[in-house]
Amino acid sequence: MSNFHSFPSTPFIRWFVKDNQSLDRDIRLKLLKGPFTSRAALVAAGMNTLLVCSVAVVLHPTLFFISWLVADMVIWIIRWFLLQRFMASGKSSLRYATDLSLLFGLIWAAEIGIGTAGCIISQDPVLQVLACTSAVSMNGAIAMRNQGIPRYAFTQILLTDIPMKLATLFQPEPMLRLLILQAPMYLTGLWVLLNNLNATLTTAYISEAQSTHSATHDKLTGVLNRLGILNLMTASLNSKTHGDSDFCVLCLDLDGFKKINDANGHATGDRVLVSFSEMVTRVVRKGDAVARIGGDEFIVLMPDTDKISASLIAERIIKGLEDYAGKYENYEGLGVSIGITQTSPSEQGSVDQVLSRADVAMYNAKSAGKNCFRFG
């Protein structure tokens, strides 16, 4: 299931999920996804608490237990609605959808804790066993499901556990008060478990991100490699997000690079490639993608643009390289030929065909005298 959750908007809810602020945004979003990833978990939790509440009402049809049953059902319905309508379906039009989902997760935990406390105070051994077993099992599920946000998960556990422990003070069996003595060890163990699970999950996400980055980025320059840009171009051709918005592809090939590389060594050639990629990255727009697809050949993908904008970028790249080469005597003759093609997502064509058109245009630029751009 796709994840459509976002970071919380309110300071109160943000406090519960602000761990790992130094991590990449995508990793932090992945760590936050626990409460939004499984309808099955929500259904199982709802059936569990509904069973305990129903048994309590059957055995003791008091106002407290009837209210507990009603509250449990209402809270579950709201949580299901938020997950189904604003998270799972990807149609989130509610600004505070994430905040509300996390808030009602806390309210749900408090409701379980208060209801469990009522079962203990009732002195009914059946309810005491059922409610305490249910609460402890729910805490384990909370730790596993929300391990990416340990502060939030531990707060849920506290809201579930503390009322249950305090309730032992208001019933006549003194041995049950041993639960209070057990609380520090139990809660410390869960806190350690949560942090260990979180560390393991975080390491896994970081390793995944690094692996993905290595597979799609050029090791020398840090820009995208052939696989990375082909993936983006494929997505652009298949895009339904921007309708029929055109995108432009620029094919760049350095002129005079081989001569400089042969005369000055590969280390100098590498510095030229790195400097050129950095310059191009600075020149293009924030949403554009730069890739080195091999040797001294680069690709720029410009989504939602036209030939005029692409021309301006091409001119800036040519001028930027001229200024760079002018600083070094041994870089004489260094330039760039650029081929540009404009494509619409509605066109029937492949990535290879788009690249081929841009490549032909680039060779036309070389034939026209190099250090210029042509359209294809």
- pLDDT for res 86: 57
Q: Tell me the per-residue pLDDT of 76-87, one tens digit each, with 9 for 90 and over.
A: 999 988 887 655
CA distance to 14, 125, 132, per residue, from 49 (Å): 27, 17, 11
- pLDDT for res 149: 94
CB 134 within 8 A of CB 67: no
- pLDDT for res 89: 47
Q: Which CATH number fits domain 226-375: 3.30.70.270, 1.20.1510.10, 3.20.140.10, 3.90.1150.10?
A: 3.30.70.270
Interatomic CA distance for residues 23 and 273, integer angstroms: 29
pLDDT under 70 in the chain at which residues? 1-4, 20-21, 85-94, 239-244, 345-348
- pLDDT for res 329: 84
What are the residue boundaries of the structural domains of the chain, listed by start?
11-215, 226-375
Q: What is the pTM of this model?
A: 0.75
- pLDDT for res 93: 53
CB 248 within 8 A of CB 284: no
Burial class (CB in 10 A: 0-12, 13-18, 19+), 136: middle
